[in-house]
Amino acid sequence: MSHRPVTQPFSIPRVSLAAHVVEAIARELAAGRWSAGLPPERELCALLQVSRTTIRAALAELERRGHLRRGARRRPEPVKRQRSSGAVRHAQVLVLAPLGFDQFGRFELIWLDVLREQLAAHGVALHFMHRPRAFSPRPQRLLAEMVAQNPGAGWVLLRSSRVMQEWFAANRVPAIVAGSRHEGVKLPSVEIDVEAVARHAVHHLAACGHRRVAFFVEPSPAAGQRRSEDAFRDAGAAVGSAEVVHHGATRAEFLRAFTRRLSGDDPPTGLLVERSTHALTALTWLLRQGVRWPGKFALLSREDTASLDHTTPAISSYRFDPALFARKAARLLHSLLSGGPLLGAVHLVQPKLVRRETV
């Protein structure tokens, strides 16, 4: 099924209409429009295509925040004030991603929703921008156009390439990396500590008696994925043997790589699988081969989902807190957009092992 690219940013769900109007008016005020006073309510209704009730709610909120005051004849006027280092200067944050919003996993959906709430508490709206061409090998011209079309916006780079990260850093565009930051890039980032998962998985499996371990993973240019694979191999060398087995994204491609390796000579018995869906496939295949738990094999999923609780045996996995990820991102963004100091370079979210029945 193909997805038509969305060429304009659209809001992440559950932001009220009045909040959008607040953002739109605040953007115009920041640009210097209506310096002598806002247009009448009826004119604003026509301009923004909303009801008078929504306009009044938005104006009241802007007045409450100190952006407006009532002038002569009770007409709203912008408040002229010095910009402080602690005041957020940007009305919006844009999430730039190669996938459509409906293609995100559970972890991403949750942390983005929490981030939206965190930013809204400071009067900043979060929008989502799906631009696959921005993730091409040469996106510089398109990135420049997007930034020019959204002056003053902050950016969240999701699943971003080295070229994209380097462009934002070189042009000093306010941005954070949500995910793995490439070596040498000077942007703040929030990352899942996938290296810690790899090391812990090897030692945990070894402690359970598994000296031959394997990591089944889709190949990826992401910096974190490469570091994760290296950490797995390095940790495995100290306890026995460790190998990384690459496979495609589909069930058939995973199953082909999985069965080939487990049917070969000296098959690994400690298994770490990147995706929870592939862990489910691995479990059902092993059960069809007559494997029982506890027994010869151990199975870990690097990704946690509720479905892993409902298998027999239930699959052990690693869990990351999406709310913690969002809070770390929100703190970075607030500091960045306020013109304050950055809160360090890389902020890691640590894993938690969810012990079930397959290890």
**Contact (CB, 8 A) for 291 and 315:** no
Give Cβ neighbours of residue 82 (< 8 Å, ≥ 6 apart): none
Q: Which ranges of the chain have pLDDT less than 70?
A: 1-16, 31-32, 71-74, 80-90, 340-344
**Contact (CB, 8 A) for 157 and 177:** yes
Q: What is the CATH number of domain 194-319?
A: 3.40.50.2300
Q: What is the CATH number of domain 92-192+324-351?
A: 3.40.50.2300
Taking only the tens place, the pLDDT of each residue in 123-136 is 888 998 888 999 99
Pair of tokens at residue 297: 């094999």
What does the domain layout of the chain look like in residue ranges? Answer: 10-78, 92-192+324-351, 194-319
**pLDDT at res. 350:** 93
Neighbours of 119 (CB within 10 A): 23
CATH architecture of 10-78: Orthogonal Bundle (1.10)
**pLDDT at res. 13:** 46
The model carries a pTM of 0.71
**pLDDT at res. 337:** 81
On the question of a common fold for 92-192+324-351 and 194-319, the answer reads yes
